Amino acid sequence: MTFRNDLPCSDHPRSNFLRNDPPHTDPPHNDRLHNYLLLTPGPLTTSRTVKEAMLFDSCTWDDDYNLGVVEQIRQQLISLATSAAGYTSVLLQGSGSYAVEAVLGSVIGQQNISRQNKVLIVSNGAYGARMVEMAGLMGIAHHVYDCGEIARPEVAAIETILNADSTITHIAMVHCETTTGMLNPIREVGELARQFGKTYIVDAMSSFGGIPLDVAELGIDFLISSANKCIQGVPGFAFVIARTDKLAACEGRSRSLSLDLYAQWRCMEDHHGKWRFTSPTHTVLAFAQALKELSAEGGVVARHQRYHNNQRQLVAGMRELGFRTLLDDALHSPIITAFYSPTDPQYRFKDFYTRLKAQGFVIYPGKVSQSDCFRIGNIGEVYEDDIVALLAAINDAIYWQDHIEKFAPNKEPQ
């Protein structure tokens, strides 16, 4: 078996990737210390320097941390999101879903006060569906436009809904629906939000930092993402970039104490970056380092290009190996790709996964309810050489073709 930390790495673009873990001989944990490349939607493979940034203990009352790190991050996030004035940012403990729930629960008013608020949720996958579930649990009035998991939401259909229901006050949608890897039409829906005067919420969890966008240009009022996606930090907190005036109007609306986005923002604003409750200090330091590395790579445009190249290279290689993508090329994001599972009766995802992991690569199960798929992500410290190595590993892991002739790379599938 070849593990990734057995590979020579001196001149590799990921040469700072943690491959020299101290030897660990305790058998049950041994495998976990072997580095594998995470080809997943996050947490993802991070650089050695991002991991090393966590080797410091910060005090949450200290200016070095609050002013020196948290406030810097807040400013940098705003700059990544737009050059326009009038935007602010809030960091929030927890995974991405916590921030989505915080936005829905803090921004959309209660049903029983003067003007009833109602959100139109555009859904075409698990993360749109999760917003619907959250709205239901919090008693938020909502209208769902569900176009199915493998269709792109139709802008005309959204316009028809907005024309028919004037009580809708907010629109919420996912940018990259990580379920399938589909990129949703946030620009066109943003134009509708502007035209109809609706507050626009975008879950850009898996795209922010990896796909260029400008919240002001797109008319986004609240954008949500998290530390362990395209910025390439580690898990532990999420963040929201918001129109300052819209967030400032949210006082007292939250249905939750811990997930009160306004209160969290107020605390950070009034106390120079102080978090209301225990701050994930190590994760925050890692994120600050990840932001530096994003800038060193050439910013979001350069990172997007790398992800895009990875995705193209992956899809071309997988097709040579006989796999089919779930989506047409025109619908794909550069973030993650869903492939149909082989139909051979001997195929089991778990066995395929285990064979790839033994070669140092971790892929992801499918999440589409209607089709049997698996997914491969491109985000994180993943480069061209990694995709070449992954494709070779996949070729070796196609155990279900042992009884028939394997596809030879560069030859047309039969």
Does 132 participate in binding ligand PLP (rule CB under 6 A)? no
Beta carbon of residue 76, minimum distance to ligand PLP (angstroms, whole number): 20
Which C-beta is closer to ligand PLP: that of 43 or that of 322? 43
What's the CA gap between 256 and 254, in Å, rounded? 5
Does 95 participate in binding ligand PLP (rule CB under 6 A)? yes
What would the DSSP string read from start to end of 346-394?
T--HHHHHHHHHHTTEE-EE---SSS-EEEEE--SS--HHHHHHHHHHH
What's the CA gap between 136 and 224, in Å, rounded? 20
Which C-beta is closer to ligand PLP: that of 14 or that of 130? 130
Which C-beta is closer to ligand PLP: that of 76 or that of 206? 206
Stretch that binds ligand PLP, among 96-104, 142-150, 188-196, 406-414 (CB under 6 A): 96-104
CB environment 392-412: b (16+ within 10 A), e (fewer): ebbbebbbbbeeeeebeeeee
What's the CA gap between 123 and 5, in Å, rounded? 41
Beta carbon of residue 206, minimum distance to ligand PLP (angstroms, whole number): 4
Stretch that binds ligand PLP, among 95-103, 186-194, 359-367, 370-378 (CB under 6 A): 95-103
Beta carbon of residue 36, minimum distance to ligand PLP (angstroms, whole number): 19
What's the CA gap between 187 and 147, in Å, rounded? 18
Orientation angle between helical segments 96-107 and 261-270, nearest 10 degrees: 100
Binding mask 39-78 for ligand PLP (x = CB under 6 A): --xx------------------------------------
Which residues is 223 bridged to in the sheet? 202, 241
What's the CA gap between 9 and 162, in Å, rounded? 55
Beta carbon of residue 148, minimum distance to ligand PLP (angstroms, whole number): 17
Binding mask 330-349 for ligand PLP (x = CB under 6 A): --------------------
With CB under 6 A as the contact rule, the residue among 149, 203, 260, 293 that binds ligand PLP is 203
Binding mask 135-174 for ligand PLP (x = CB under 6 A): ---------------------------------------x
Which C-beta is closer to ligand PLP: that of 38 or that of 393? 38
With CB under 6 A as the contact rule, the residue among 17, 87, 127, 145 that binds ligand PLP is 127
What is the 3-class SS of 130-190, one letter each residue?
HHHHHHHHHCCCEEEEECCCCCCCCHHHHHHHHHHCCCCCEEEEECEECCCCEECCHHHHH
Applying the rule CB under 6 A, the residues between 208 and 267 that interact with ligand PLP are 226
What would the DSSP string read from start to end of 50-72?
HHHTTSSPPPTT-HHHIIIIIHH
Q: Length of the chain, please?
A: 414
Name which of 335, 293, 328 is nearest 310 in CA terms. Answer: 335
Does 356 participate in binding ligand PLP (rule CB under 6 A)? no
Residues that bind ligand PLP (CB under 6 A): 41-42, 95-97, 100, 127, 174, 178, 203, 205-206, 226
